[in-house]
Structure 1
């Protein structure tokens, strides 16, 4: 597959006799919606060291098979090629097969295995998984299957570890990292103004911190696409091993740095959070005076940012992506890294974003559909990501920039906590691509009426306050909108709508209920809506202004099918609640919708089948 992700869509369009949409429809034919092959994950092959492995000149690692529910192993994340700081010698370790047979010499660098064994033995971790030895590298089908399910291994591992090679050279660098990770550099000022450097941090101290962070972030580990997936899927359990010269003191930081000789073992999520806060605070206070320092700080933030911190404070550094889909941020970060095989990007993005629909790279190539840019776009849309079609801008851009600009940017989660988790589920259901646009299924709500609830307040606290507000709202609605009032009461009594079948969808519905309650308490107007073709009010939405008396709203939900192998990996539920503009019917008679803003609210449709609608393509894609 051709890595054309650096080319503008204008160039791609000019090199084809038909529109880009026509090629997207061809790519669609090679999607795979079937469950992934979890054979290797269910019976995971790992390596087990012994205590004496550290002491013998000819150490042996033993092949073991872990059952599906066993997460007590370290999933190793490392760079296959040696860095300038590493010896490239291999073969000192013997791998003993699980069943009777002759041992073989490992192809993994000795220095990597030395460090991983020290990590597992010091933490009493019984086994570790490392791709070069635990995947059959001579079996191409096994490699492809493992590649598509790699995310599950890192989600399942209780002790994932990233092995960096750039050493910490002196005591000053250790002390700087300790102050950073202890939270001593930035005040915990969770205000609208953002984080602030403490009074003790002067320009010299800030430069020292930036110097050591820049060295760490230049490690090859931060530059590989597969590794970005491994860290992302390991979540807050990933530890980073950073070597340091023997003799340096880290006793004061034992809780943060661990107890492995010659290693700093730090939590990756904590590291990312403190680095992000430090960089944002430096930018906010305009501490850097040289172009070089500003560039270094931007590079550090770009490579080590924590998504939830950037969601909250990104505006300080010019990142206004708080309402944009997580998938576009993930794709942008992955695209900045390198991959030996560019088409691996499709599996990496799918694994990180929890995509159920995959593309068969081998058959795509055989069909001469070799544009990685269009394959990424097809993958994005087939999995329900929402494209804005309310603008007709035609600006030359790459696929990453196109999705950043054209993906829906108005997500408005009803709760401040877990915003990113909410937005991951905001995707269209049951998508099919057509010449006319993106076909999906859902419910169209029309004849919206504005309802101004009487001022309500609750004496309840904690989780009960929103139920008390909704109970009062149901009483006000009962006279004129009895069906809606009854449905709200059923929800308050613990009966969820029939289409909210999974825990994820029920959590979304609960968040929406809290959003409605907050709007009522704040005196905001509500939209009461009827389902198209029906004459009763079955939905209540929070009005964004007082003038949406003729709004149309499109909602949909799709429960995740089944469950992936491993306790931490599940398919994602999908949920959408969009204000839309109708623009007639397509030639097939299906209603056409154009994207508007996100709308929070409650809707009830039991035993009513969703209807098919079309979101027309952005004009740029459909032009020849």
Structure 2
């Protein structure tokens, strides 16, 4: 088996190992190391500072800072290999060693790298520089096994924690090698980044469009765009990451007149997010206008290198498969470094480390195991002939199999909300993903268009809910009482009244559960305003079946997009027929876990809310975990006080049990 099997179909990996995907996942999950990041690396972050002496070479001394408290440092992103537009000269800068009797040795970093970054730092009055070549130990053992050497452990901790270096920095900086050389290029770039070029596209001659795309292509063909480590540095350095592009001195006055490129001498300073979004907007607009090969050649390359997920992905889609795809197609000296890079970019708390593996070393399945253990959701509905899914590489498989039916509320950033849609405490078992949460038996369908009570007045007491949210929540509680759902009505009224007791509560200190419930309230109120259907639910328990209703879900937020297992839309007329078969929802949530002592986490808040199919309810023994199949995402407001979480299993897609011979 190749060391990097990212480009190999999953079916070939199964054949080479003689085991199913499910069996390989179980083996790999059993070898995972302790979780958490070594925060000592960040609390004692080693940086360089310039000691200028005109009579000697520039010298750099080492200083340690606590980056959690002092983040006014530059975190530098650059490539160790020179670009075609850079001078290879090095040795003019000297760096102090870590020895007990320190010396100053010539740096192997190119002189032009230091020249450019210190020019930026002088313009911004910054003192400290973090650069991986000198601030991470480089001389370590080459063994692929676990090493007990202090320097080897320090480097491993640095690799796993490096994303925080860029995230904590107020000044992450990227050095691009390809310069802007002419005034018309500078003018084109300015028009692209301000959005003027895209707005005036219809009136722009085709040759000028090609010039703009050609410029973006040349910029994004710099080797910085094709490295996996630099992808992580940019991804985690946002929204503060700045791209530096050199220009000759004669363009300084023109650059200053553009007002968007800062005042660093001989450098164009570009906000990385702005570059990504503006480039994406232009490419999408050009694609809509023309399908000519000379255009598509440029746009496909630019979007592949610098495309904005926010602008490329639909609001119901997850980012993770795209992130994994983008990392896997970039270059690395050590292919297994893709695992910590993926973990850092996707904010995974659980990291798979190949050095802890005794067998079944496969990078693709290790990536899949890490994806699952961190709560990511796979479609698992039963379908015929799913073995063909294994003919895909992992990234292509995830593109097709990852759940992509999220329903982020209108008030939220779609992809950010979707990023937190993950199972809680996921475990890999031979039959599927074991997780914890609350299983709800769905009950009465409530037609809000038939609500007959008047909209109550919002109370004058201060409240963090908007006035219409107060009114519609109170109205919902009143209608539920009228429909003989007193417990659910009481929970909603209590939730509303509790909010009024804390009107000045700092939103930054508000608990995750309360923030999440606020988001659900916005969706619920919007549904009531539209006259959508709601559905009540009660906690399912194997011990008792008479729990009162304590949850309400939006049942037809978008009938056209909500389909059942066979692709048929849910219709109100069909509900009565389907009531004979019990229907269920599964919810789970937990706030991010911050770790303890010197072991921090890379965690985010987790939350899921799914309609599920539990087909074998009648045949299950009390000791069996419910086996659930995902139908669709549900938005709802749930109150589960006093009810413990239930263990459930989401069975593997059928292809995971296939073994090739």
What TM-score comes out, normalization by structure 1 length? 0.90
Task: Give yes or no for contact 2:190–2:258 (8 Å, CA) kept in 1.
Answer: no
Task: Give yes or no for contact 1:155–1:569 (8 Å, CA) kept in 2.
Answer: no
Partner of 2:120: 119
- Give the one of 180, 187, 191 matched to 1:168: 180
Deviation of 1:14 after TM superposition, in Å, equals 1.8
Q: Secondary structure at the match of 1:49?
A: strand
Q: For 2:280 and 2:442, how far apart are their aligned partners in 1?
A: 46
Within the alignment, does 1:445 sit opposite 2:444 as a pair? Answer: no
**Which structure has the larger Rg over C-alpha atoms?**
2
- Give the one of 354, 357, 369 matched to 1:378: 369
Could you report, residue by residue, the CA deviation over 1:230-267 in whole angstroms, capped at 9, with x for unpaired residues?
11111110000111223124344453211122211111
Runs of at least 5 residues in structure 1 that lack an aligned partner in the other structure? 188-196, 312-320
Q: For 1:459 and 1:88, how far apart are their aligned partners in 2?
A: 73
CA RMSD of the aligned region, Å?
2.4
Partner of 1:516: 524
Aligned counterparts, 1:442-591, within 5 A: 442-453=437-448, 454=451, 463-479=466-482, 480-494=484-498, 503-533=511-541, 534-544=546-556, 545=570, 546=572, 547=574, 549=579, 550-562=582-594, 571-584=603-616, 589-591=624-626
Partner of 1:425: 420
Deviation of 1:491 after TM superposition, in Å, equals 1.8
Task: Give yes or no for contact 2:36–2:595 (8 Å, CA) kept in 1.
Answer: no
Task: Give yes or no for contact 1:75–1:130 (8 Å, CA) kept in 2.
Answer: yes
Q: For 1:329 and 1:502, how far apart are their aligned partners in 2?
A: 32
Deviation of 1:36 after TM superposition, in Å, equals 1.6
Larger mean CA deviation between 96-105 and 126-135 belongs to 96-105
Partner of 1:191: none
Q: For 1:598 and 1:278, how far apart are their aligned partners in 2?
A: 33
Partner of 1:620: 655
Larger mean CA deviation between 97-106 and 534-543 belongs to 97-106
CA, structure 1 residues 56+346, in 2 after alignment: closer, same or farther (shift >3 Å)? farther
Q: For 1:558 and 1:462, how far apart are their aligned partners in 2?
A: 23
Could you report, residue by residue, the CA deviation over 1:522-574 in whole angstroms, capped at 9, with x for unpaired residues?
000100011113420000000034345543100011222226999x9862111
Within the alignment, does 1:356 sit opposite 2:349 as a pair? Answer: yes
CA, structure 1 residues 103+569, in 2 after alignment: closer, same or farther (shift >3 Å)? same
- Give the one of 295, 298, 301 matched to 1:299: 301
Task: Give yes or no for contact 1:459–1:465 (8 Å, CA) kept in 2.
Answer: no
Partner of 1:192: none
Deviation of 1:583 after TM superposition, in Å, equals 2.5
- Give the one of 256, 262, 269 matched to 1:258: 262
Could you report, residue by residue, the CA deviation over 1:490-536 in whole angstroms, capped at 9, with x for unpaired residues?
2212359xxxx974443222111110110011000100011113420
Within the alignment, does 1:75 sit opposite 2:75 as a pair? Answer: yes
Deviation of 1:57 after TM superposition, in Å, equals 6.1
Partner of 2:42: 41
- Give the one of 222, 226, 231 matched to 1:228: 231
Runs of at least 5 residues in structure 2 that lack an aligned partner in the other structure? 140-150, 459-463, 501-508, 557-569
Could you report, residue by residue, the CA deviation over 1:116-175 in whole angstroms, capped at 9, with x for unpaired residues?
111111111121100110011122211111111111111100000011101112111111
CA, structure 1 residues 520+108, in 2 after alignment: closer, same or farther (shift >3 Å)? same
Q: For 2:55 and 2:597, how far apart are their aligned partners in 1?
A: 37
Could you report, residue by residue, the CA deviation over 1:208-235 in whole angstroms, capped at 9, with x for unpaired residues?
1111101001000100011111111111
Within the alignment, does 1:245 sit opposite 2:244 as a pair? Answer: no
Q: Secondary structure at the match of 1:296?
A: helix
CA, structure 1 residues 159+466, in 2 after alignment: closer, same or farther (shift >3 Å)? same
Q: For 1:163 and 1:333, how far apart are their aligned partners in 2?
A: 20
Q: For 2:369 and 2:337, how far apart are their aligned partners in 1?
A: 15
Q: For 1:553 and 1:441, how far apart are their aligned partners in 2?
A: 13
Q: For 2:77 and 2:425, how far apart are their aligned partners in 1?
A: 35
Larger mean CA deviation between 407-416 and 338-347 belongs to 407-416
Could you report, residue by residue, the CA deviation over 1:277-329 in whole angstroms, capped at 9, with x for unpaired residues?
1111111122x53x132111111112111121223xxxxxxxxx542221111
Q: How many residues of Structure 1 are paired with residues of Structure 2 in the alignment?
A: 595
Task: Give yes or no for contact 1:42–1:565 (8 Å, CA) kept in 2.
Answer: no
Task: Give yes or no for contact 2:255–2:268 (8 Å, CA) kept in 1.
Answer: no
Partner of 1:316: none
Task: Give yes or no for contact 1:387–1:406 (8 Å, CA) kept in 2.
Answer: yes
Deviation of 1:369 after TM superposition, in Å, equals 2.5
Q: For 2:55 and 2:122, how far apart are their aligned partners in 1?
A: 14
Could you report, residue by residue, the CA deviation over 1:146-205 in whole angstroms, capped at 9, with x for unpaired residues?
111111111100000011101112111111001111221233xxxxxxxxx445433222
CA, structure 1 residues 447+420, in 2 after alignment: closer, same or farther (shift >3 Å)? closer
Task: Give yes or no for contact 1:161–1:238 (8 Å, CA) kept in 2.
Answer: yes
Task: Give yes or no for contact 1:469–1:517 (8 Å, CA) kept in 2.
Answer: yes
- Give the one of 182, 193, 211 matched to 2:194: 182
CA, structure 1 residues 247+591, in 2 after alignment: closer, same or farther (shift >3 Å)? same
Could you report, residue by residue, the CA deviation over 1:327-349 in whole angstroms, capped at 9, with x for unpaired residues?
11111111221111110111001
Within the alignment, does 1:85 sit opposite 2:85 as a pair? Answer: yes
CA, structure 1 residues 398+507, in 2 after alignment: closer, same or farther (shift >3 Å)? same
Q: For 1:457 and 1:345, how far apart are their aligned partners in 2?
A: 55
